[in-house]
Amino acid sequence: MKAFTNEFSRGMPSSAYVIYAENPDFYFFVREAFATLKKQFGGDKEFKFTSYDFGDIENTDNPPTIHKVLDDANALSFFSDRKAVIVENFQVLLKERKGKKQDIDQEDSDNEDGVKTTSSISKKKEILSLINNYLENPSPSTLLVFLWYGKIPSQFIKKIRLIDVSLKRSEVKNWCRQLAKERGFSLTEDALEFIFWACGGDERTAGDVGIIYREIDKLSLLVDPKTKGKTLNSDDIQDIVSIDADASAFRLGDAMLNGDKRKAFSLLYTLDAKAEVAQKTLGGLNYKFTQAEQAINLAEIMHKADIGVKTGKQGALYQLVTDYFQKINRRHRQKEKISPQDR
């Protein structure tokens, strides 16, 4: 996000940009960049800001095309010195959609040997070619911005400024400290670590920054007014940064650590296991297990659950709890096989 902030402070001097995040944890920053540009160029003035969203073109009566985007970009701005044309979900435009025609009208064709060839590659090339042609002589009164969610292809647009809004873990901490400061309080190192774990992070990543933002925002509303202006540690925020007052990830973690299988599944059953909550649950469990210094290695089953949650696999958390108790039971059986004399 720092790269975008720096470029924005300079007035976005280039003619065209791609603002992107490869990791879903930072998609929030792509949306924030969009909101910032809309506020700057939109406001209450007309004809300064237009956007095209390719994320839902199959359900739109008048879907956007790259031709419409570039026609708009080429149109002169009569009511302002500069206008912004924003393309949301640009990655969808270059992604093959089986059984669907791309926005450039080109059907599959036979090659010289009569072999059927797919047109998806040529469509992508033509789309990129059209954009490159525009950038050879861009409109001086237009800021053209493409928003991209995911990995940027190695063969991409020439003469375009790429801005990655992702942050390192340490940079996310600085961002959190600034958010807290703007809301009238400070956060200790252990409080930040607690928030990261609760929001799906681990020792390498901070977790989903969109969820982190909402949790810090929630803290500003729910912390004791007497603590405003003070520094909050993990003990101050544990009852606020959680998933559910009655069945939080931390209570689930306690039940698992205590070997209470029935209570663990009962708590899990009451949780809303949708994507965001599932991710926070996993983060909370990570935190609990790390604090407890588990004797068994949970890295494999935690990684399996993390992949399951991020890919939307149903039952990923139930499988995690099942795998956990299976590992515990195996460890107990192994201990029972060792006689007192052998210990």
Q: Report the distance separating Cα 334 and Cα 330, nearest Å.
A: 6
Q: Report the distance separating Cα 291 and Cα 283, nearest Å.
A: 12
The sign of the CA dihedral 120, 122, 125, 130 is negative
The pLDDT value recorded for residue 99 is 43
Contact 19, 30 (CB under 8 A): yes
> Which CATH architecture fits 2-164?
3-Layer(aba) Sandwich (3.40)
The pLDDT value recorded for residue 211 is 86
Neighbour tally for 118: CB within 10 Å: 11
DSSP single-letter state for residue 238: T
The sign of the CA dihedral 78, 79, 84, 86 is negative
Q: Report the distance separating Cα 199 and Cα 183, nearest Å.
A: 19
Host H or E run for residue 146: strand 142-149
Q: Any idea which of 185-194, 256-265, 274-283 has the lowest mean pLDDT?
A: 274-283
Residue 224 has pLDDT above 90, yes or no: no
Q: Report the distance separating Cα 239 and Cα 224, nearest Å.
A: 12
**Where would I find the H helices in the chain?**
2-9, 27-41, 66-74, 90-93, 120-136, 169-182, 189-198, 209-222, 234-237, 249-257, 261-270, 275-292, 299-310, 316-337
User: Regarding predicted confidence, which is higher, 5 or 94?
Assistant: 5
The pLDDT value recorded for residue 47 is 52
Residue 158 has pLDDT above 90, yes or no: no
Using H for helix, E for strand and C for coil, what is the string for 249-274? Answer: HHHHHHHHHCCCHHHHHHHHHHCCCC
Confidence (pTM)? 0.68
CATH of 169-241 among 1.10.3470, 1.10.20, 1.10.8, 1.10.10:
1.10.8
